[in-house]
Structure 1
């Protein structure tokens, strides 16, 4: 899932994947603060709110990259299901079982009496519903993968106007679900244009679209989109939470206009951004190679760090969140790298 950056026109996708990988760890370190609205200092909560808002693009970017890298290809159905799903599903099942075992251990340590069959039933329940909070993404992306062989044939044969038609209606479904506008929603079923599938098509479209402006202009527009979108996320989250007197995560959700704006901005910025430092390129390629496994294992690593009181609060959160993110990234990368060195390790490491 990674590309060599030397002479590769798609090197920006590698850079973007690594940014998204680091951002999702950063998000999970900072998000713990947000649910304590009203129970921690205003300074700490605002630190979490700002940091978390900065990286809300991570999941949409992952999905957009799926569109970039997969919709431009043609697939034989059997070959696609065998290769893609073995690479996604086997590591997913392995780490799901690991998380489920830890969950069982926590229940037993907490005083729950569980028979052998109760343990098996609990593990199965965890596998069906998600053994850890971050694994929802894998369930979602598997659903998208099932649709890729069909979607790829459509986008490759569709005109630009037809692709834009889909994207515009998808964006309309986001607009009409905004709190104020939702009152005027008419009873037309637009479910076929909703959800994460729009990010897949949008990523593909933006990757092939050439704009009649300079890279500098595109970067300026991208930065403006990022600033405006993040500002809406930060302020909107505060005002809603203050009004309800508890944390309200509406502006954090992936299918909101503010997150869409930031995601487009980040996507277009990195599409027109190049890294020339060879050491950075080497590090980026290395992390990108193991990014899927890093995503799968990083929550386990965060839990481990937390037992040593290394989280957002072990020092000033302004520093603690980036430091914890970096430690988690390094340990997660080392774990996945080591597992890949074992016989057949690549089938479980991710």
Structure 2
């Protein structure tokens, strides 16, 4: 049996793996607390919203943790800009675009199936109760995918941020390599 050498060169950093595990758990916990903020019960019971906000606020550090782990593991960028973009961006943009298109076609598909528009707000918490089920509306939303997310693609907000980080990283990496430790501390 032959083992691939592709991942042998990279050494695992145990504390980063533990931190990643904790951040993953925090993301799951945040998503479990979100219904306390956007459900009908939250609107009628202030305690739901209060405790949902407390739990959500305590756990929101997971996003900066993931961003810092990304910087720790990828900076300085040790490959050409083209190689970096090809390796990183292609891996996330293809599934991102596929899922964004599917999310934005969902209202139109519900209309084709004869379902009421209220089904859309049942699936997407921030959608209006009378959301459009027209193909034209879906196509407008799809055309805006490269520049903004909408009520159907709210779950994809992190991918928008990650694409921005990946686009910026090779440029920032050049500064990291040439700056002194003191300059980096002042920046941070």
Does TM, scored on the shorter chain, surpass 0.5?
A: yes
In the aligned structure 2, how far is the partner of 1:113 from the partner of 1:165?
52
* Superposition deviation, residue 113 in structure 1: 5.5
Structure 1 residues 118 and 57: CA distance shift in structure 2, 3 A = closer
* Superposition deviation, residue 71 in structure 1: 0.7
Matches within 5 A, 1:1-350: 8-34=11-37, 39-40=44-45, 42=47, 44-106=48-110, 109-110=116-117, 112=132, 114=134, 116-125=135-144, 128-130=147-149, 131-167=152-188
Structure 1 residues 113 and 11: CA distance shift in structure 2, 3 A = closer
Asked which structure has the greater RCO (Cα within 8 Å, sep 6+), the reply is 1
* Superposition deviation, residue 89 in structure 1: 0.9
Cα RMSD for the two superposed structures: 2.8
In the aligned structure 2, how far is the partner of 1:117 from the partner of 1:145?
32
Is the CA contact (8 Å cut-off) linking 2:77 and 2:169 kept in structure 1? Answer: no
Q: Any stretches of 5+ residues in structure 2 without a counterpart?
A: 1-6, 118-129
Segments ≥4 residues shifted beyond 6 Å: none
Is the CA contact (8 Å cut-off) linking 1:100 and 1:123 kept in structure 2? Answer: yes
* Superposition deviation, residue 99 in structure 1: 1.6
In the aligned structure 2, how far is the partner of 1:119 from the partner of 1:56?
31
TM-score, normalisation: structure 1 = 0.40
TM-score, normalisation: structure 2 = 0.70
In the aligned structure 2, how far is the partner of 1:22 from the partner of 1:10?
19
Is the CA contact (8 Å cut-off) linking 1:104 and 1:123 kept in structure 2? Answer: no
* Superposition deviation, residue 127 in structure 1: 5.8
* Superposition deviation, residue 24 in structure 1: 1.8
